[in-house]
Chain A
Amino acid sequence: MSVLVKEASPVPGEHELRVNDFNINVATANGSGSQTSNNILIRTLFKMGIPVTGKNLFPSNIQGLPTWYTVRLSKDGYLARREGIEVVVCMNAATVAEDMQNVMPGGIILYDDSLPVAARRKDVTYFPMPVKELVKEADLPFNLRDYVANMVYVGFLAYLLELDCDQVRAALEWNFEGRPKPIALNHDMVLSAYNWAAANVINNQPYRARAMTGFNEDKILVDGNTAAALGALYNGVNLVSWYPITPSSSVAEAVIKYGPQLRRDPDTGKATYAVVQAEDELAAIGMAIGAGWAGARAMTATSGPGISLMSEFVGLAYFTETPTVIWDIQRMGPSTGLPTRTSQGDILSVYYLSHGDTRHIVLFPASPAECFEFAGTAFDLAERLQTPVFVLSDLDLGMNYWISDKFEYPKKEMDRGKVLSVEDLDRWGAKWGRYLDVDNDGIPYRTLPGTPHKLAAYFARGTGHNEYSGYSERPEDWENNLARLTKKFDTARELVPPPIIEEVEGAEIGIISLGSNDAAVQEARDRLSAAGFAASYLRVRALPITQSIRDFLAKYDRIYVVENNFDGQLEKILVNAHPSAAPKMEKVTKCDGLPLSARWITDSILSHLA
């Protein structure tokens, strides 16, 4: 505990400080409890008013493999991933050499002083942390030592970056939901590290986190999966049937967590919803379809491999015209891929999921607030259109914390679609046919099982059927049915969330993107604009393609379709929908497991323009 920074450079003056505009990378071993420390860190920064994002780069492993948590502070309010590390915290022996090497010149390195330090760079500043000694001093129960040890770097960062210590304390209280014992235990460790650093370390480095205003007011810090679960609970979900798969499990788990507070019958105290962990994804979607057929709002949440397994059942729901909602929190594919890395690689497979002529409604939320909103939109569309509705989120949006607008309590009544009552059936008599297109919008009327009327029953089947749901092999019945389903899909174009279009006067280039790329695209537009290329921007929020998207495609001379997959899957759908725009469309795609960065998008587009 005696060796400090020997050749301390002078303490920087105020004008030399770099405030609220740098990246912190925390390198730990998976399963060491660092997630808690990282959550404390990001929540503290958020509560200080600083625009901040956290990206958890974790391995598909329970314990031991390296994991990184990158926090970006951006005084300008940019929330996308940014390359480059200015502040690194090294807690993992397996990666310490590499982690130290990756710091930008002028950066700082905090490290557990028991780690083998491979090299000493001249262009960075080192801050050894006596982690073992401080933990030993704290005299903690043996089984908690490694866990609480991660609070040491929180204390060190609090001192070096000048974090608001009251907010650190508040973040601990939030994280441990007010439980005094773990709050005290962890807070003591933070304080002891802070005090040790204050007494022994000269803060001669330039990075500072300073409280600010103008960005985080009225915002919340939340992950997309929690938002999705809350949205479902607020929009009348009756059944969540699911099978555990990263990165979607936390959708169902958040329903389990928040459901008891939000969805108990005040009279009986009983839950007004059910959660079933199914034996596999086939059963999960089967249950959701059975419940949707019987009149419930049912959903499942999964990821790529689960989508593949659900394929046959989704075709059945499409063809029987049964409402159901499927959340796909995308991860890397093909195959098992990288289960803990993000991607947008399921767009095409989900759009056309299942054999035969099928296509589906797909929603693309870009933020937690939109996850919350689309949870309700998806149910409304599924019941209005009597069809499966997919919501495509991804690991980055679903599992990482985002600064988000507060969730808006649903203002609209739920749309339960065209469901016939006993009175309707009395009135309609034998004229009712399950698949009759009465309103010329392709959407037939349905009845729910249990409707006490002798004409209510129909037979839902995946086999060929006529307008009265009878089995049919007649060629004209088959063609009529597919033609009506196509008409229904055209009706859907008018009902799905329209794209968000931001047009710039005089812009010659247009950017089209979707989902969680939004923050990076917005930042890239600022960079492009600074380079002299103003870009209009259309964010696709749903499939099928709407007329406004076709108009945008027609309008711009150069269109860049930005996606986090390899093949340019959205671009393929756009080309298909609007072939004449194909020559002026360029895919801007990357698929390496990381969220897109603004710099990469900007450089890619500039290289096309050059």
Chain B
Amino acid sequence: MDKATKAVAPARSPKTNSLGLEKNEYRGRPSTLCKGCGHDSISQRIINATWELGIDQTQVIKLSGIGCSSKTPTYFLGQSHGFNGVHGRMPSVATGAVIANRTLTAIGVSGDGDSVSIGIGQFKHVMRRNVPMTYIVENNGVYGLTKGQFSATADQGQVLRHAGVNDLAPLDVCLEALATNATFVARSFAEAMPNRSKRYSKPRSTIAASPCWTSSAPVSPSTTDSVDQELCLRQRAPDLLQELNFIPSYEEIEIDEYDDEAKSNCMTARGSSSSWMRTTTRPISWRPIAS
């Protein structure tokens, strides 16, 4: 626990990257999400990774749908073009954009409501088409912006203040991706996403657990897919306020950063097995259908 709450600053950061740029230049606008939101940690990890890899921001496009997670592209890579689409349909916009310009690096950010509830169809088809992009699902099992409804990844039997009991079994977003032959699927915890992944160089999807402290906090954690949230909640919201219009501030959870791929491959958010789920071996063959 101590380890999890203690911020450990990486000692390896040089002042500038291979393009001669400071990390600050990879930031976006200030976040408007709740204080301590895991989504901001993911944004920070995207900033870290793209900066460390020396990626030219002008050659990156950021795409998202609707929801808390989909707001985040504003908060990183301020020199990249961004497109905030409609709810659940980010994948089609991304597909069109990378067909139009195949030299661009595409990062899609979505949530569980956006990708698994309303958008499961486009989520599956973008994997099926093997569109060259990094697709991040910031999964917290709950609708944050509309304040506390279940998403399709919420655990069965879960209880929320207004939504009541969730009677339905969740969809596992990683399994959905694997079943559709995604070429790379990984699962991680928001605060634990490795910086140095080469995840922006290949088409792949990353499913990041990012528990919502605000909209799922009142009664019980919203999804185990995201982490052992109960643990986190006990740690962070001992009083479990029953009010939806009061949003307490939290410190961001930090855990140790792992220095290399080998360690991060073993990293776990739930304390059991590997969070990087599997890399499929399907070759990447992206080309226009008509060619």
- Interfacial residues, chain A to chain B (CB-CB below 8 A): 238-239, 241, 255-256, 259-260, 270-271, 273-280, 282-296, 298, 312-313, 316, 320, 447-454, 456-463, 470-471
Contacts and interface: CB of A to CB of B under 8 A. Distances in A.
A278 B129 CA distance: 10
A606 B186 CA distance: 73
Contacts of B97: 290-291, 293-294, 449
B96 A457 contact: no
B86 interface: yes
B84 A459 contact: yes
Closest 4 CB pairs of A and B: A286-B92, A290-B96, A274-B288, A296-B100
A459 B100 CA distance: 18
Contact of B92 (A275, A290, A462): A290
Given A450-B58, A451-B58, A294 B291 contact: no
A456 B81 contact: yes
Interface stretch (B71-79, B159-167, B209-217): B71-79
A283 B58 contact: no
Contact of A313 (B29, B89, B91): B89
B254 interface: no
Contacts of B100: 238-239, 290-296, 298
Given A271-B288, A452-B59, A286 B83 contact: no
Nearest to A313: B86
B47 interface: no
B59 A450 contact: yes
Interface string B33-65: 000000000000000000000001111010100
B83 A320 contact: yes
Contacts of A470: 29
Contacts of A278: 92, 125
A454 B79 contact: yes
A462 B83 CA distance: 9
Contacts of B84: 459-463
B19 to A, nearest CB: 11
B104 interface: yes
Contacts of A274: 99, 288-291
Interface in B257-291: 288-291
Contacts of B99: 238-239, 274, 276, 287, 290-291, 296
Nearest to B103: A450
Given A290-B95, A459-B73, A461-B83, 5 more contacts: A289-B85, A290-B63, A294-B100, A296-B101, A457-B78
B291 A316 contact: no
A471 B58 contact: no
Contacts of A277: 289
Nearest to A255: B290
Nearest to A465: B84
A274 B99 CA distance: 8
Given A238-B100, A275-B288, A294-B101, A449 B85 contact: no
B248 interface: no
A79 to B, nearest CB: 34
Contacts of A463: 84
24 contacts: A239-B96, A275-B289, A278-B125, A279-B122, A280-B121, A282-B89, A283-B125, A286-B89, A286-B95, A287-B96, A290-B95, A294-B104, A312-B86, A316-B85, A448-B101, A450-B59, A450-B81, A457-B58, A457-B81, A457-B82, A459-B73, A459-B82, A460-B84, A462-B85
A286 B94 CA distance: 8
A463 B291 CA distance: 37
Given A312-B86, A449-B81, A450-B104, A241 B96 contact: yes
A596 B81 CA distance: 49
Interface residues of B, number: 39
Nearest to A240: B290
B23 to A, nearest CB: 15
A505 B95 CA distance: 56
A282 B92 contact: yes
Nearest to A277: B289
Contacts of B288: 271, 273-276
B181 interface: no
A288 B96 contact: yes
Contact of A295 (B89, B101, B290): B101
B171 interface: no
Contacts of A460: 81-84
B93 A289 contact: yes
B197 interface: no
A461 B63 CA distance: 10
B95 A287 contact: yes
A452 B58 contact: yes
A217 B57 CA distance: 58
A423 to B, nearest CB: 15
B80 interface: yes
A454 B122 CA distance: 32
Contact of A290 (B94, B289, B290): B94
Contact of B125 (A275, A279, A454): A279
Contacts of B289: 274-277
Given A241-B96, A275-B289, A277-B289, A457 B57 contact: yes
B121 A471 contact: no
Contacts of B29: 470
Scoring A238, A256, A284, A453 by chain B CB atoms within 10 A of each residue's CB, the highest score goes to A238
A433 to B, nearest CB: 15
Nearest to B95: A287
A316 B290 contact: no
A294 B96 contact: yes
Contact of B96 (A286, A451, A471): A286
A293 B59 contact: no
Contacts of B61: 294, 449-450
Contacts of A291: 96-97, 99-100
Nearest to B90: A286
Contact of A298 (B56, B59, B96): B96
Contacts of A284: 92
B123 to A, nearest CB: 11
A295 B96 CA distance: 10
Contacts of A296: 96, 99-101
A373 B276 CA distance: 53
B93 A290 contact: yes
Scoring B29, B56, B289 by chain A CB atoms within 10 A of each residue's CB, the highest score goes to B289
Given A275-B288, A278-B92, A283 B81 contact: no
Contact of B104 (A298, A313, A449, A458): A449
A463 B96 CA distance: 21
A238 B89 CA distance: 21
Contacts of B63: 290
Contacts of B58: 450-454, 456-457
B103 A289 contact: no
A605 to B, nearest CB: 45
Nearest to A320: B83
Contacts of B291: 270-271, 274
B290 A273 contact: yes
Nearest to B96: A290
Contacts of B103: 450
Contact of A457 (B80, B98, B101): B80
Contacts of B80: 449, 457
Contact of B122 (A283, A453, A457, A459): A283
Nearest to A456: B58
B36 to A, nearest CB: 21
B83 to A, nearest CB: 5
A447 B92 CA distance: 21
Scoring B63, B78, B79, B96 by chain A CB atoms within 10 A of each residue's CB, the highest score goes to B96
A288 B99 CA distance: 10
A36 to B, nearest CB: 26
